Amino acid sequence: MRHHLRLFSALALLATLFAVGPLSSAQAKYAAIVVDADTGDVLFSRNADTRNYPASLTKMMTLYMAFEAIENGKLKLNQRLKVSRRAEGMAPSKLGLRRGQTIKAEDVILALVTKSANDAAVVMAEALGGTEIKFAQMMTKRARQLGMKRTTFKNASGLPNRGQLSTARDMSKLGKALMRDFPQYYSYFSTTRFTYNKRKYKNHNKLLSSYKGTDGIKTGYTRASGFNLVASVERNGRRLIGVVFGGRTGKSRDRHMKEILTKSFKRLPEIRSAAAKPPLPKRNPVRQSETTQIAVVTAPVTPTPRPASAIADTAIQTANLGTAAVLPKAPTGQWGIQVGAFNDFEKAQSIAKTALESLGERASFASTNVEPYAQQNKRIYRARIVGMNESYAREACQSLRAENITCLPVPPQG
């Protein structure tokens, strides 16, 4: 009898270990962070450096790689990408792509942002890396360069893989990098609906319609990860990036994100004002019909202002607001604006001149400045207009963006 009892107890213990072990190892771990996108100050943090499964937050990195390929001339928005057998066989969420067909790169981007389509992720991965495994290695390498030291990617979609791990802090860095490096493409993340093959897909990010100031960026979910979210919210000229890992439900995750963002916005008066807040321009994707435009890189401005005698009272009509913003009488200073970065000097010079002409008499005091810059072993040229103060630079960018000219204010120290 005792023998049977001991055997029963041993079997019960083994059963318990078997039941609990796998569950606990796959159980989502809560982590969260909120950072000021302009200053980098952390306003809220819980387990921010704990490695968790990113799930479809992975697609943020896939999109970063896609935007970079567009800027480097390796990919075009209207380029048709092939669908492989592997892409067709991916688990949902998916568009239902079929082997042998093609899909535009821009539709792949929109499918990743809204539907979080896994088949579309593989299409992009194979187009840029040859194989998804190779692409994942490229993603990891680029992540390290962005300062994401605790992140490893194994696929392009975020589908379960024990080796694919990231942290809340790393994902906040990726969110900031997407805005900083590709402002002309960031607005894809605010797309609320996407239509493909006559089917409409809604964006999974419910904060876009339920939390004031939200303009992106990505949700994620697997059983092992729980409900994840990276959100970017701008209010009163200040932008916060929030990250939540391991939500029990989508609703509770969204509710918690709103709570920590609201508390963080209330804390902002305690935090120093950002030295510069680069506004996000309207979507104006660069086409490769001419010299390829390179991602904007800010650096100290070397202004060459014209004589003060040429300065007159000016006002810029703020197109977005429909009102006139009166500028100082002598708006010279160490600020500038950047209207693009190119791999051709003449192209950069031409764009800078065109932008200055668009500002007309309102910028008679300013001058163009084309700066060479080494980026990833390539020489690029930044097209800038220099010799402004901060308020004029921001107003000038508003005016240029109303004319669909990409523009970012550049502070004296970048």
Q: Same domain, yes or no, for 227 and 308?
A: no
Do residues 330 and 307 touch, judged by C-beta distance below 8 A?
no
User: Residue 91's pLDDT band (boundaries 50, 70, 90)?
Assistant: very high
Q: Same domain, yes or no, for 397 and 252?
A: no
Active-site residue, selected from the candidate residues 56, 84, 166, 264: 56
Residue 386 maps to which CATH number? Answer: 3.30.70.1070
The C-alpha atoms of residue 6 and residue 16 are separated, in whole angstroms, by 15
Q: Same domain, yes or no, for 241 and 300?
A: no
Question: What digits encode the pLDDT tens for the residues 30-78?
Answer: 999 999 998 889 999 999 999 999 999 999 999 999 999 999 999 999 9
Mean pLDDT, rounded, of the chain: 80
Q: Same domain, yes or no, for 91 and 155?
A: yes
Kindly write down the DSSP assignment for every residue of 106-145, as one continuous string: HHHHHHHHTT--HHHHHHHHHHHHSSHHHHHHHHHHHHHH
pLDDT score of 293 more than 70: no
Q: Same domain, yes or no, for 217 and 87?
A: yes
pLDDT of residue 322: 33
pLDDT score of 347 more than 50: yes
pLDDT score of 16 more than 50: no
The residue length of the chain stands at 414
pLDDT score of 397 more than 90: no
The C-alpha atoms of residue 241 and residue 260 are separated, in whole angstroms, by 11
Would you say residue 262 lies in a domain? yes
Do residues 87 and 123 touch, judged by C-beta distance below 8 A?
yes
Query: Is residue 56 among the annotated active site residues?
Result: yes
Would you say residue 19 lies in a domain? no
10, burial (CB in 10 Å: exposed 0-12, middle 13-18, buried 19+): exposed
The C-alpha atoms of residue 385 and residue 358 are separated, in whole angstroms, by 12
Query: pLDDT: is 388 or 68 the higher one?
Result: 68
Do residues 181 and 153 touch, judged by C-beta distance below 8 A?
no
Q: Same domain, yes or no, for 165 and 110?
A: yes
User: Residue 191's pLDDT band (boundaries 50, 70, 90)?
Assistant: very high
Which helix (H) or strand (E) segment holds residue 31: the answer is strand 31-36
Active-site residue, selected from the candidate residues 84, 93, 116, 166: 116
Query: pLDDT: is 18 or 362 the higher one?
Result: 362
Would you say residue 5 lies in a domain? no
Instruction: Over range 353-368, report the average pLDDT.
Output: 82
Kindly write down the DSSP assignment for every residue of 221-254, as one continuous string: EETTTEEEEEEEEEETTEEEEEEEEEESSHHHHH
Q: Same domain, yes or no, for 80 and 49?
A: yes
pLDDT score of 276 more than 60: no
Neighbours of 119 (CB within 10 A): 26
pLDDT of residue 330: 35
Active-site residue, selected from the candidate residues 59, 76, 115, 258: 59
Domain that holds residue 123: 28-270
Query: Is residue 232 among the annotated active site residues?
Result: no
Query: Is residue 93 among the annotated active site residues?
Result: no
Query: pLDDT: is 110 or 183 the higher one?
Result: 110
How big is the chain by its Cα radius of gyration, in Å? Answer: 24
The C-alpha atoms of residue 155 and residue 146 are separated, in whole angstroms, by 18
pLDDT of residue 121: 98
pLDDT score of 283 more than 70: no
